[in-house]
């Protein structure tokens, strides 16, 4: 059966049965979080923009913040037949696109905070993070295929890293 390709936009969150290819284009400081249960054959992805909702969560897209996206993604996985103990996670993204020597601005380091908060939420929920490609100063395009449960990470000038 051919894989359907689905491209997720900013703050999107989606869980679908295999076979499927989940894609996010041009992640900078944002995070692409993939979760899957290869036994139940279901996979999900979220395009996370910021670490903490600070009470904004309810009114906005649930995939926007790490603290709201991770629980929502796992809950959706369980609804679609996944078993918590079998769910595995992979993450990519969280780059710092611009470094300004001597300037302090919180938003410039949001990539690292996104990575830290996403990992923290996964840990709290007892979800195994099995691989990641994060940080640095380059954007990433990612593709997750349920044919081999691998996440392809394309970085400009560095080629493809499969995790």
Partner 1 sequence: MSELASFNSLQLDAIKEVGNIGTGNAATALSGLLGHMIQMDVPETELVSIYELAEHYGDPMQIVGAVFVRSTGGFQCSLIFIQPEDDAGLMVEMLLKQQFGTFIPISEIPPEMTDSALTEVGNIVLSSFLNAINILLGTQHQISVPGVAHDMLSSILDVVASIYGQMGETALLVNTELKVEGLEAGRKISGQIILLPDPESLELLLKKLKVD
Binding residues vs partner 1 (CB under 8 A): 9-11, 25-30, 49-50, 54, 56, 60-61, 64, 95, 97-103, 105, 107-108, 110, 137-141, 156
Residue closer to partner 1, measured from CB, 38 or 161: 161
To partner 1, the closest distance from the beta carbon of 75 in angstroms equals 22
Residue 30 appears among annotated catalytic residues = yes
To partner 1, the closest distance from the beta carbon of 7 in angstroms equals 10
DSSP string, 97-160: ----TT---GGGGHHHHHHHHHHHHHHHTT-EEEEEEE-SSS-EEEEEETTTTEEEEEETTTEE
Name the nearest CA neighbour of 117 among 8, 44, 29, 43. 29
To partner 1, the closest distance from the beta carbon of 1 in angstroms equals 28
Residue closer to partner 1, measured from CB, 25 or 163: 25
Annotated catalytic residue within 15, 27, 30, 43:
30
d(CA 71, CA 94): 19
Phi, psi of 67 (to 5 degrees): -70, -20
Residue closer to partner 1, measured from CB, 87 or 151: 151
């Amino acid at each position: 059966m051919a894989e359907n390709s689905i491209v997720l936009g900013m703050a999107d969150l989606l869980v679908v049965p295999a076979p499927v290819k989940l894609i996010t284009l041009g992640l900078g400081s944002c995070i692409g979080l993939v979760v899957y249960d290869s036994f139940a054959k279901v996979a999900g992805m979220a395009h996370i923009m910021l670490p903490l909702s600070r009470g904004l969560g309810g009114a906005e897209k649930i995939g926007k913040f790490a603290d709201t996206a991770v629980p929502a993604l796992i809950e959706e996985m369980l609804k679609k037949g996944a078993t918590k103990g079998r769910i595995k996670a992979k993450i990519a993204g969280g780059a710092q696109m611009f470094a300004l020597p001597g300037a302090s601005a919180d938003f410039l380091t949001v990539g690292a905070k996104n990575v830290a908060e996403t990992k923290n939420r996964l840990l709290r929920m007892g979800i195994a993070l099995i691989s990641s490609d994060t940080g640095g100063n380059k954007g990433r395009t990612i593709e997750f295929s349920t044919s081999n449960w691998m996440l392809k990470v394309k970085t400009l000038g560095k080629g493809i890293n499969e995790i």
